[in-house]
Structure 1
Amino acid sequence: MQIGMVGLGRMGGNMAERLRRGGHEVVGYDRDPAISDVTSLKDLVERLQAPRAIWVMVPAGKPTQATVDELGQLLSEGDTVVDGGNSHYVDDQKHAAELAQKGIRFVDCGVSGGVWGLENGYALMCGGDRDDVERLMPIFQTLKPEGEDGFVHAGDVGAGHFAKMVHNGIEYGMMQAFAEGWELLEASDVVKDVRGSFKSWRTGTVIRSWLLDLMVRAMDDDEHLDQLRGYAQDSGEGRWTVQAAVDHAVPLPVITAALYARFASRQDDSPAMKVVAALRNQFGGHAITSTEGSTGKGADSPGADVTPPRESDR
């Protein structure tokens, strides 16, 4: 099958290569002329035979919107745009409605697989009209891992990215659980082989998983993770998952806590804990630590000009 690929970065480039290995004709466009097959989106469209299929693999938000807008001006009735990036599902519905006015079809596809997808395949979660998805099945079958699983037509437009969003939210929670378990093991006086403990869990336990395999791999390279700083960004999908939970009144305590833990990791000092320290000092006379690192007097220390709190206020 012939397909255009817009965005040839780490994911898009490897996906294009996997498709070529599977016998498909891929015409790729990227802003970097060194890796692009054509010089513009217009050239890309002209290289493809109608009805065209173009897979968009660019960052979510404005880059995706700009690409969809331009393709909407270049494509013809019956052509199909696939958004395989990490777009918000509500944006999919907007893009589908805009393109539908010109008779252009739209499919959203959440993609998971990262840098390992070229060899192992990509898990695909699609949303859109059944006929549009069926037309693209040769592409999906080549990109997905071998075997029965790894692909789902999750529902209407937006369903693919909604499923991928929840997948990433679950991933946040799982990673946070591994992280907290690792920290507790490292803090223990009795456990001498933390890496070995994690490695032993890879077989026969209920928490064996690819994430656990990757955790062991990371410790193989840096046993105590001494070379890393505890600073973690978030891709945005964790935030969307929590917001969707609010919109649907669904409690997500684990995923929400994992997202907030990432926020905390990016603070050199916690503004909120300054308030907690100040209040503990005020009502309980507890010692405080200054910005210079010295420990100050509590509110009930000698010389403190404050009425000692009652026991019921502590």
Structure 2
Amino acid sequence: MELGMVGLGRMGANMAERLVRGGHTVVGFDPGAAAREQAAARGIGAAASLAELVAALPAPRTLWLMVPAGAVDATLAELRPLLAAGDTVVDGGNSNYKDTVRRAGELLAHDLHYVDSGTSGGVWGLQEGYSLMIGGEEAAVERLRPIFETLAPAAERGWGRVGPSGAGHFTKMIHNGIEYGMMQAYAEGFAILGRKAEFGLDLHQIAQIWRHGSVVRSWLLDLSADALGKNPDLQGIAPYVEDSGEGRWTVAEAIDLDVSAPVITASLMERLRSREKDSFADKLLAAMRNEFGGHAIRKE
């Protein structure tokens, strides 16, 4: 199949290259000239504009978006007048599922198909394949089956249509919320192990042991073992953790649906806490302990 890839950042370019390796023809566009040049060097066709990209594709066209969530509406506004009835747009980024439902309705009014593909796999997807959680009309998804089968770890696993438009991004949102909780649990567990100084525990060794046969083995543990092997004391890494926004959306959805999600919520709060260099809350806690119990206060 032939398709256009809009957004040739690291993940978009990797996905395009995996498709090219699988025998598909990919023409890409990115506003950055350097990204286009790098993509061309990897066997990916490069267009200088969205108009040139659309013109290079046979009908019915398929455009796969790998752009930040905040740039999707602007990209669609520029792209829509260039498309014709029957064309399909796939959003493979981390859009809010509510925006996806809205966008699908807006494009459907112009006889355009909108498919959302929650995509997991990160920088390893080029070699290992991507986990694809897909939402959209059944016929539109089925037409793109060869694309999904090539991007996935195998044609028969690691991908699937999970529901109508928005369902793919909703599922990926919850996936990321679960990821927050798992990562936090690993981080806390290894922190406790490391604090037990009298045992002199080798955290990399323990991670390697757990990777095989343990009930807590996972790809995240594999990556943790790799990180600890390269940098046992994590020197040079600031204790500051970003969040992509999907953890926040997951917590908000749990509240809206009256579902208790304390682990995911706590893991999100810990990420926010990691960014506090001068915590007013902690200072007030210390002051309160001093007031009611005369506990000592450490001076700055």
Give TM-score scaled by structure 2 length: 0.94
Matched-pair contact (CA < 8 Å) for 2:203–2:228: no
Q: Distance in 1 between matches of 2:11 and 2:28?
A: 13
Q: Distance in 1 between matches of 2:101 and 2:221?
A: 36
For 2:15, the equivalent position in structure 1 comes to: 15
1:1-314 to 2 correspondences below 5 Å: 1-36=1-36, 37-61=46-70, 63-146=71-154, 148-188=156-196, 189-290=198-299, 293=300
Q: Which has the higher contact order (CA 8 A, sep 6+)?
A: 2
Write out the 4+ residue segments of structure 1 that deviate beyond 3 Å after TM superposition: none
For 1:304, the equivalent position in structure 2 comes to: none
Matched-pair contact (CA < 8 Å) for 2:116–2:165: yes
Matched-pair contact (CA < 8 Å) for 2:149–2:155: no
For 2:42, the equivalent position in structure 1 comes to: none
Q: What's the CA shift for 1:98?
A: 1.1
Matched-pair contact (CA < 8 Å) for 2:9–2:35: no
Q: Distance in 2 between matches of 1:45 and 1:240?
A: 33
Matched-pair contact (CA < 8 Å) for 2:149–2:156: no
Q: In structure 2, what residue type is equivalent to 1:45?
A: V
Matched-pair contact (CA < 8 Å) for 1:185–1:191: no
Q: In structure 2, what residue type is equivalent to 1:144?
A: A
Deviations 1:90-115 (A, max 9, x none): 01011111111111110000111111
Q: Distance in 2 between matches of 1:113 and 1:175?
A: 15
Task: Look up the SS of the partner of 1:111 in the other structure.
Answer: strand
Identity %: 56
Q: In structure 1, what residue type is equivalent to 2:286?
A: A
**Greater fraction helix:** 2
Q: Distance in 2 between matches of 1:192 and 1:82?
A: 48
Q: Distance in 1 between matches of 2:175 and 2:263?
A: 13
Q: What's the CA shift for 1:197?
A: 1.3
Q: Distance in 1 between matches of 2:219 and 2:182?
A: 11
Matched-pair contact (CA < 8 Å) for 1:8–1:30: yes
Q: In structure 2, what residue type is equivalent to 1:275?
A: L
RMSD of aligned residue pairs (Cα, Å) = 1.1
Q: Distance in 2 between matches of 1:191 and 1:180?
A: 17
Matched-pair contact (CA < 8 Å) for 1:89–1:161: yes
Label 1:203 to 1:129 Cα distance change in 2 as closer, same or farther (>3 A). same
Label 1:201 to 1:147 Cα distance change in 2 as closer, same or farther (>3 A). farther
For 2:40, the equivalent position in structure 1 comes to: none
Q: Distance in 2 between matches of 1:45 and 1:9?
A: 19
Q: Larger deviation: 267-276 or 230-239? A: 267-276
Give TM-score scaled by structure 1 length: 0.90
Q: In structure 1, what residue type is equivalent to 2:170?
A: F
Q: Distance in 2 between matches of 1:177 and 1:249?
A: 24
Q: Distance in 2 between matches of 1:156 and 1:202?
A: 37
Q: What's the CA shift for 1:49?
A: 1.1
Gaps of 5+ in 2: 37-45
Q: Distance in 2 between matches of 1:147 and 1:51?
A: 23
Matched-pair contact (CA < 8 Å) for 1:110–1:160: yes
Q: Which has the larger radius of gyration?
A: 1
Matched-pair contact (CA < 8 Å) for 2:5–2:26: yes
Q: Distance in 1 between matches of 2:190 and 2:142?
A: 44
